[in-house]
Amino acid sequence: MPQASIVDSHCHLDFPDFDAELPAIIARAVEAGVERMVTICTKLRLEPQVRAIAEAHAPVFYAAGTHPMSVAEEPMASVEDLINLSAHPKFVGIGETGLDYHYTSESADAQKTSLCIHIAAARETKLPLIIHARAADEDMARILREEYENGAYTCVMHCFSSGPELAKAALDLGFYLSMSGIAAFPKSQDLRDIFASAPLDRILVETDSPYLAPPPFRGKRNEPAYTAHTAKVGAEIFGVSYDDFAAQTTANFDRLFWKAAA
């Protein structure tokens, strides 16, 4: 497997799937060329344990927010909460936040409120917003645009698997699209076409582990080391060498996630 340095821009190392194995998981990632990873806290009350993972492991950085699917049962975040968390040297992004109408459409209004709070915090801290969007393309594009008009902010569409209109809306605002194992699935040609039409300097790679393992591990537990398999497909999509794709997506990561820059 290629060894060029690469970044897993989104994983969930605090999930029970990795319990007791974390040092080995991180060591395997580094061995596969994944020199940095951002672990994402999806419920603010769990922030202390996610922060502890980042503090204990040099290659790991973290972000925190309230996942849209948790908004209904978690306390609403405040801009101040998020700004206070951002003071930590290894806290590098706001989220994940966003809209999920596939599983949790009944909390759509609360999700929109939460999303706008996270955007305000991203604007204030100058840290990138990390967006989860599922079955909500139209509302998502509209809110991102309207909020940008209220003041600029930076953003990554994490695990991008939405339609071409949302991709265009995000790219037009200067945002980034992150490629997960979904882009490597055989039936994802439409998604690969969306990525292929995007500028390479706006692409990140991620695992979203423990979910969405790319082939040849599909259906198994995903882990940060497998970023390299998605990146291999990414290089093919853009018609560049693995090393060039790794170097470009790493430069993109450093530009967006400036607090975690090499």
Does position 3 have pLDDT exceeding 90, yes or no? no
In which domain, by residue range, is 197 found? 6-260
* Residue 1 counted as domain residue: no
Give the chain's mean pLDDT: 97
- Return the pLDDT at 20: 87
Mean pLDDT, range 120-147, rounded to an integer: 98
* Residue 136 counted as domain residue: yes
Strands 203-205 and 176-179: parallel
Mean pLDDT, range 140-159, rounded to an integer: 98
Question: Residues 6 or more apart from 70 whose CB is under 8 A from it?
Answer: 42, 43
Does position 2 have pLDDT exceeding 60, yes or no? no
As for how many domains the chain has, the answer is 1
Query: Which residues partner with 99 through β-bridges?
Result: 133
* Torsion 66-26-134-219 (CA) sign: negative
* Residue 149 counted as domain residue: yes
- Return the pLDDT at 262: 67
Alpha helices in the chain, H assignment, sequence order: 22-31, 47-56, 79-85, 108-125, 137-149, 164-172, 189-196, 227-238, 242-256
Residue 250 one-letter amino acid: T
Q: What's the Rg (C-alpha) of the chain? A: 17
Mean pLDDT, range 207-215, rounded to an integer: 97
Q: What pLDDT, in 10s, does the model give residues 101-110?
A: 999 999 999 9
C-alpha–C-alpha distance, residues 195 and 34, integer Å:
21
* Residue 134 counted as domain residue: yes
* Residue 253 counted as domain residue: yes
The token pair that represents 60 in the structure block: 């790991």
Q: What pLDDT, in 10s, does the model give residues 62-86?
A: 999 999 999 999 999 999 999 999 9
pTM for the full model?
A: 0.97
Q: What pLDDT, in 10s, does the model give residues 9-40?
A: 999 999 999 998 999 999 999 999 999 999 99
CATH number at residue 184: 3.20.20.140
* Residue 107 counted as domain residue: yes
